[in-house]
């Protein structure tokens, strides 16, 4: 079987595993409830009186993903190590990178499905006004890429420990750094104690900084490259960690 076939097989297996337990449905329900509550109650969607989702819907996604995505990614490899199937998986006639990409894509597609199910918000804003659906679509693309970056970081933490709880905590801390690096209060604090060049370097690692362009409808190649680089580097790091397990 070729590499693509192996990846497809593993991705199908992982997707079935998600929906064979109530975990997937609980995650989706929680994600949709949080989006609805923060969009209409906290974000003041109706009070704003504007045909836009940037300030009432998408602005919350970096914070939702901070806890929900590590909850999805914590089981990817930690569970395999806990039940003793990691060694079996890595001794099968597949390359480690195929298993990594397959499991990652399955989880990323699952997150994409949860994101797509927020479509009633888009229908609502179109019913009440005349939004730029191109901008909304671009923001969705950016949100999915951001979720992928969080998930890839969670792959690393899941590969280094047998405990899903430990994996979750480390992933939350790592992803929190990716948020705070571009959080306005943090930027203001850094500007008071560090030079502009250092502030620029730190903010360049922020998901918020790179997500802002997508919310405005701008598909900047630098922002896309940032998220893809985080995903690629994280998956490569995961492969290095798993390779040490395979040879030990």
Domain spans of the chain? 3-247
More confident residue, 214 or 97: 214
More confident residue, 108 or 79: 108
More confident residue, 214 or 183: 214
Indicate the DSSP class of residue 81: H
For 64, other C-beta atoms within 10 Å of its C-beta total 17
List of residues 6+ apart from 54 with CB closer than 8 A? 135, 139, 215, 216
**pLDDT over 70 for what percent of the chain?**
88
pTM of the complete model: 0.88
pLDDT at 235 over 80: yes
More confident residue, 81 or 40: 40
pLDDT at 194 over 70: no
Average pLDDT over residues 204-228: 90
pLDDT in the model for residue 141: 96
DSSP letters, 182-229, are: T-HHHHHHHHHHS-HHHHHHHHTT-HHHHHHHHHTT---HHHHHHHHH
Read off the pLDDT of residues 4-21 as tens digits, 9 standing for 90 and up: 888 888 888 888 888 887
pLDDT in the model for residue 223: 93
pLDDT at 1 over 60: no
* Rounded Cα distance, 76 and 13, in Å: 12
Q: Point out the least confidently predicted range of 52-61, 195-204, 238-247.
A: 195-204
**pLDDT over 90 for what percent of the chain?**
40
pLDDT at 89 over 70: no
């Amino acid at each position: 079987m070729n590499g693509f076939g192996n990846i497809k097989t593993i991705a199908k297996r992982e997707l079935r595993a998600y929906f064979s337990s109530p975990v997937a449905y609980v995650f989706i329900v929680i994600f949709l409830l949080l989006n609805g509550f923060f969009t209409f109650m906290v974000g003041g969607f109706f009070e704003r009186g504007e045909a836009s989702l940037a300030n009432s819907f998408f602005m919350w996604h970096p914070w939702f993903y901070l806890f929900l995505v590590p909850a999805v990614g914590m089981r990817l490899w930690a569970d395999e190590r806990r039940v003793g199937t990691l060694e079996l998986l890595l001794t099968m006639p597949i390359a480690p990178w195929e298993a990594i990409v397959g499991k990652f894509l399955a989880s990323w597609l699952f997150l994409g499905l949860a994101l797509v199910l927020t479509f009633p918000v888009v229908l609502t804003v179109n019913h009440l006004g005349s939004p730029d659906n191109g901008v909304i679509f671009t923001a969705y693309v950016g949100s999915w890429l951001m979720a992928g970056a969080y998930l890839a970081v969670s792959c690393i933490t899941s590969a280094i420990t047998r405990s899903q709880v430990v994996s979750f905590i480390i992933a939350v801390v790592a992803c929190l750094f990716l948020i705070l690096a571009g959080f306005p209060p943090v930027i203001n604090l850094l500007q008071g104690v560090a030079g502009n060049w250092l502030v620029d370097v730190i903010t360049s690692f922020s998901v918020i900084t790179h997500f802002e362009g997508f919310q405005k409808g701008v598909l900047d190649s630098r922002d896309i490259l940032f998220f893809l680089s985080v995903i690629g580097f994280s998956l490569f790091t995961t492969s290095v960690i798993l390779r040490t397990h395979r040879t030990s």
